[in-house]
Structure 1
Amino acid sequence: MDISICWLRRDLRLTDHAALYHALKAGRPVLLLFIFDQNILSKLDNKKDARLTFIHQTLKRLRAELQEQGSSLLVKFGSPEEVWPEILKEYKVKAVYANHDYEPYATKRDDGLAEYLRSEEIPFFTYKDQVIFEKAEVIKADGKPYTVFTPYYKQWLQKLNTFYAKPYPTERYFKNLFQTPHLPFPSLSDLGFEATDHQFPSPDFESKLHHYHADRDYPAKDATTHLGLHLRFGTISIRAAVRAAQEQQASKWLSELAWREFYMMILWHFPHITDRAFKPAYDNIEWRNNETEFAAWCEGKTGYPLVDAGMRQLNETGFMHNRVRMVVASFLCKHLLIDWRWGETYFAEKLLDYELASNVGGWQWACGSGNDAAPYFRVFNPELQLQKFDPKREYVYRWAPAYRLAIAPIPIVEHTFARDRVLKAFKKALT
């Protein structure tokens, strides 16, 4: 039987799904595919990476939903360039559908697939799905990309209307799902990984929007939505998130969704930012890169309560409160004069909600090397941040209880000394 394939990547859901909607609506039976990409998994040293457990659990749920429709989920393990020829031998594939992915590896992968499918005379249709606006959809009047958030966001808001946030009604066309009995489903051990007992955040975020603006900066209140993981893997649609923000008039949270798209747009236009400074002069900084001090930062043993609590929360849960992320990132780059790329790499290993664009953007912002970044002479004082945002030390005592017992580590660097040192180092690099 002639079929179409809808390739799931960062869009692990059946509802409000652009590529799946277009595939189903075309009328040919649609088989859903997920590939555990060997090119990506081979770089994961932690064989208990909780993100793999999350993906695996999500795919199991998707398979169950598809089985209720008489269909199933095709799951493969290997590099896409090896898997696709196998699929074309197994099935009479007449079209392939997928949603856009904007990270450098993904664009190279998809370009390669498009070329291969073209050689097999199979069309490859791709769609915008994980953002409201992509690539060059929000640009300046002269056709150049914005590099400052505020004017970008003004135009983003002007373009935003109910049309852009409307859901794709995939359910109307579920009758066009390829009817097939259960397909093989690999275990995590088949992939070389182990399951974790991690408790993942609920995708039910709407109850937190009402208090988000007032409470979001106070880590002990846990007032943020924890939706990053679900946006990262597409278990919830960005359009659903935007509609909820509009309905509840949660303007501050809506702006955070726009920041995510801003950084994706920046990565698209300036792909060098993954390993070089957006502002080239910052590549001249003479980093100290002291490995002992970096280890202390990673382990939450810097002697600064808010920094240590944040790092321990990250290490234990795969999550860190956003305000604290700014403090720990600034501390690494400016107090310790350690290259922002070291911190970005560590976050990439640990964060459940890791997204390349947002992580690189956030780290370069904290360092001062990014677009629309804090100026280099702005150095967060971790003690003042603690007094302002965790005055009762509830967050600190939760994640770094040694501070309650007065047996905490001695600060590895004194704030005033560190501030003077980094200002001299940055000034030397930038003049």
Structure 2
Amino acid sequence: MSSNVILWFRDDLRLSDHPALHEAAKSGAAVIGLYVLDDSRRPAHEMETRPLGGAARWWLAQSLRRLQESLAAIGGTLVLRRGPAVKAVTELAREIQARQVFWNEIAQAPELARANKVEAALRADGIEVRTFPGDLLVDPAILRSKDGRALRVFTPFWRRVLAIGAPPKLLPAPTMLPSIADIPSETVDSLCLEPAEPDWAAGLRQTWDVGERAARQRLKTFLAAGIAGYARGRDRPDIERTSNLSPHLRFGEISPRQIWHAAQFAAAERPALSGDIDKFLSELGWREFCHHLLFDTPEMATRNLQPAFDAFPWRPDRGALRAWQRGRTGYPMVDAGMRQLWQTGTMHNRVRMVVASFLVKHLLIDWRCGERWFWDTLVDADAASNPANWQWVAGCGADAVPYFRVFNPILQGEKFDPQGDYVRRWVPELGGLPASLIHQPWRATPLELQSAGVRLGTTYPEPIVEHRAGRERALVAYAKLRAA
């Protein structure tokens, strides 16, 4: 029997700290990497997993190219196939007479179902399947509440994770990987992951360096030069105080274990930064929390975690939704965030909360509309974090923000972008206004507007809803829901 082995890459597009690859390489067999893209046009209920949004597809294309280069450098091969995973994996196994297939687990219901189908089909062909812990710090199946469910409040959840202790030691990347040449494969270009006409990805290309090497360098640079002051500075979109690691984590170009161990090493080397590093790790913990929620509630992108919200009086408004999507709401902080998202595929975390609150509370537009827009436009669109964070802001999720907390986009701008630098970067038509007016240009006198080259309603829109009126309308709607 042939000793060929398939390594099924999924959301783990790296070589280092890759348990399945590490074990496959130790086998001494020829190892053939495989990535399967299932974006076939089938009814939603027949799809195994949620199709990627446009920005994430762009990132995936770059990440696959980098992975191909990394594998080629050590003698390996990455085969690309398209279609349902069961068909793609089993067909390749038969083509190369593989005796084993290795992969890392993904603790999400759709991914678990997909992997189970693949495993059953392979075992029916007499092929051994070996799976390994996925890209979380703790297996969701072992971290449960007394009634057997996922923990719904972050602080006790994170305490439990910390009490478990450090994750396993990191695994080195293989230095050599015997493979097989000339296996039929799609190319990255033939997968059509990147936009053609129109090519809207110029801003993504300018913003991001993709791949495992870039991820590791970004982490190294952040811990060396960016972590100081993180606990306070992370809320400032006008300064560089975040790691920007989320898309690398999303596609597994770096593992949470690698981040954990690197951060703990930095804390040991520089004890004065322990507070900043603890806060940074708690953000990694929030990602973990969201994934544990998804393990229990696979419909999190479409179903309220709190069923009482099923009766919430959302107000469908296509015009307002479009204005929000395009950064034309008349609120500079909101518009800056939405334009940053459109151009770069990302948005500062503080601003994400502001724009989400504006959509669901000021405009009373269903959080699912925002979640779908973020899914399509974020390079780090994640099946767990994206819906969990939207539900958190809307008040219908786990450990959700109190319903009466309505982010004031004016005060948020003045507090976290005090000189208006963030707004000036992304809403340049307001760049001539002083810091005292840039977050509420409607307060400027006609002379101040004229000198700044601003014509409200023409060069920059009037607010689509008055803040106080929007807030009161939201509070009334939430109060009626609670009284029902």
* TM-score tier (shorter): over 0.9
* AA at the equivalent of 1:245: A
Structure 2 counterparts to residues 1-12 of structure 1, below 5 A = 1-12=2-13
Residue of structure 2 in register with 1:245 after alignment: 263
2:78 matched to 1:73?
Answer: yes
Amino acid at match of 2:347: M
Amino acid at match of 1:205: L
Could you tell me which residue of structure 2 aligns to residue 426 of structure 1?
A: 478
Q: Is the 8 A contact 2:14 2:252 kept in 1?
A: yes
Where structure 1 has 5 or more consecutive residues not aligned to the other structure, the ranges are none
Confirm whether residue 370 of structure 1 aligns to residue 418 of structure 2: no
| Offset of residue 222 of structure 1 | 2.4
What is the CA–CA distance in structure 2 between the aligned matches of 1:395 and 1:165, rounded to whole Å? 40
**Structure-1 residue corresponding to 2:169:** 166
Displacement after TM superposition at 1:104 (Å):
3.7
Cα distance in 2 for partners of 1:252, 1:65 equals 33
Range that drifts further, 269-278 or 358-367: 269-278
Alignment TM-score, normalising by the size of structure 2: 0.82
The answer to whether 1:205 aligns with 2:219 is: yes
Quote the offset at 1:60 in angstroms.
Answer: 2.6
| Residue number among 148, 159, 162 corresponding to 1:154 in the alignment | 159
Partner residue, 2:181? 181
Q: 1:330 to 1:150 in 2, by over 3 A?
A: same
**108-117 or 294-303, which moves further after superposition?**
108-117
2:241 is aligned with 1:219: no
SS in 2 for 1:271: coil
Question: Match for residue 101 of structure 1?
Answer: 106
Give the equivalent residue in structure 1 for 2:16: 15
5 Å-filtered alignment, 1:4-403, equals 4-39=5-40, 49-141=54-146, 143-161=148-166, 164-171=167-174, 174-175=175-176, 177-181=177-181, 183=183, 186-194=186-194, 196-197=201-202, 198-199=205-206, 200-201=208-209, 202-203=214-215, 204-206=218-220, 207=222, 208-249=226-267, 250-403=277-430
Q: Is the 8 A contact 2:325 2:338 kept in 1?
A: yes
Contact 1:11/1:17 (CA < 8 Å) preserved in 2? yes
Q: Deviations over 1:68-97 (max 9, x none)?
A: 333322222222233233213311111111
Q: Kindly, what percent of the aligned residue pairs are identical?
A: 39
CA RMSD after TM alignment:
2.2
Query: Structure 2 CA distance, aligned partners of 1:10 and 1:392?
Result: 40
Shift of 1:226: 0.7
CA contact (8 A) 2:321 2:365 kept: yes
Superposition deviation, residue 230 in structure 1: 0.4
CA distance in 2, matches of 1:265, 1:294: 31
Would you say the 8 A contact 1:310–1:328 is kept in 2?
A: yes
Cα deviation 1:197-225 (Å, max 9, x = unaligned): 41314421233223322311000102111
Per-residue deviation at 1:389? 0.3
Report the more deviating stretch, 339-348 or 126-135. 126-135
Structure 2: runs of 5 or more not aligned: 196-200, 268-276, 432-452
1: distance between equivalents of 2:10 and 2:193? 19
Distance 2:51 2:137 in 1: 30
Shift of 1:184: 5.5
Q: Using a 3 Å threshold, how does the CA distance of structure 1 residues 98 and 40 change in structure 2: closer, same or farther?
A: farther
Aligned partners of 2:77 and 2:68: how far apart in 1? 6
Q: Secondary structure at the match of 2:249?
A: helix
1:59 Cα deviation from its structure 2 partner: 2.5
Q: Secondary structure at the match of 1:273?
A: coil
Q: More deviation in 206-215 or 363-372?
A: 206-215
User: SS at the partner of 2:140?
Assistant: coil
8 Å CA contact 2:301–2:371 kept in 1: the answer is no
CA drift at 1:251: 0.6
Amino acid at match of 1:223: R
Q: Offset at 1:186? A: 3.7
Measure, in 1, the Cα distance between the counterparts of 2:365 and 2:11. 32
1:5 and 1:188 map into 2 onto residues whose CA distance is 19
Note the alpha carbon deviations across 1:330-389, whole angstroms, 9 max, x for none: 000000000000000000000001101101111001000011011111111111101100
CA offsets 1:160-209 (integer angstroms, 9 cap, x no match): 22xx14102342xx55x333336556444422344644131442123322
Q: Name the stretch that deviates more: 96-105 or 291-300.
A: 96-105
Please say if residues 149 and 296 of structure 2, whose CA atoms lie closer than 8 Å, have aligned partners that are also in contact: no
Deviates more, 1:137-146 or 1:410-419: 137-146
TM-score (norm 1): 0.92
The residue identity in structure 1 corresponding to 2:251 is: F
What is the aligned residue count? Answer: 424
Q: Which amino acid aligns with 1:35?
A: V
Answer yes or no: is the 8 Å Cα contact 1:300–1:311 preserved in 2. Answer: yes
Q: Which residue of 1 aligns with 2:437?
A: none
Instruction: Summarize deviations over 1:252-276 as a string: whole Å, max 9, x none.
Output: 1100001001010011112232211
